[in-house]
Amino acid sequence: MNPFDNDLLTLDPVKLKAELLRLRQGIREHRDEKGHGRCWLDDLRLYDLLPEKLPADTTLPPREEFLENCARFHETRQGKKEFWKEENITGGRNPSKPFLSANIIGVRDVESARIWYADVFGMELVTLKLPYFCEMKLGDASFLIEKHSLERPLGFQDIPTGVRVSAIIGVDDIKAFIDIVREKGVTVVHNPVQQAWGGWNAVIRDPDGNEFVIDQDE
């Protein structure tokens, strides 16, 4: 018996049942995770259910070895239920062709930001992993709402806030949209203005200082 499990010997039946249910729930959450939430952070949340808080090694093997193992695993799945989701009608991604995976928005409080983006832009929640992460969708576009986290590898811990977000939000009637969000208390940085190409743009700001260009075609 692992010494870290000695605490189980001291639990009464009620507490032992509660611990079992907690572990089962954590395993189910790990199993049912989808989209961008399925990553090494999900593994760390699973490991955190253990009483021993030992650091987990999240590094990968050398690139060629890792990709070779992935290819070998995929070959073993032939003729069985597909492990990989089809990315297009030709059956799989072209590794040499980039594509937009998601847009990252840095915030100070993920839950407050989730409510704001749902209310102002009508984004739909896909995955919520408080306190550091949630994924939301606007049409076919994915937005990763994230905050600073020391659980991420070096180089990925800091998520900048208070920036001009690269994603442009399109609307059919920009003046009506700006009137609606202004009534909700949203900060309007620039009122609608017609650009030289004929379209209209405005800029609004979220509570974390991130700015979004609002766009209406001619």
Does 12 map to a domain?
no
pTM of the entire predicted model: 0.56
Total domains in the chain come to: 1
Closest CA to 120 of 23, 12, 207: 207
Does 198 map to a domain?
yes
Please provide residue 170's backbone torsions phi and psi, each rounded to the nearest 5 degrees: -90, 145
In whole angstroms, give the CA distance from residue 27 to residue 132: 20
SS3 78: coil
Does 190 map to a domain?
yes
Does 167 map to a domain?
yes
Does 121 map to a domain?
no
> In the block, which residue shows the tokens 């075609």?
217
Residue-range definition of the domain harbouring residue 198: 162-218
Does 216 map to a domain?
yes
Per-residue pLDDT of the chain (218 residues; tens, 9 = 90+): 778 788 888 888 888 888 888 888 888 888 887 766 667 677 778 888 888 888 777 777 888 887 887 777 766 665 555 555 554 444 555 666 787 788 999 999 999 999 999 999 999 999 998 888 999 999 989 999 999 888 778 888 788 899 989 889 999 999 999 999 999 999 999 999 999 989 999 999 999 999 999 999 87
Does 81 map to a domain?
no
Bridge partners of 175?
Answer: none
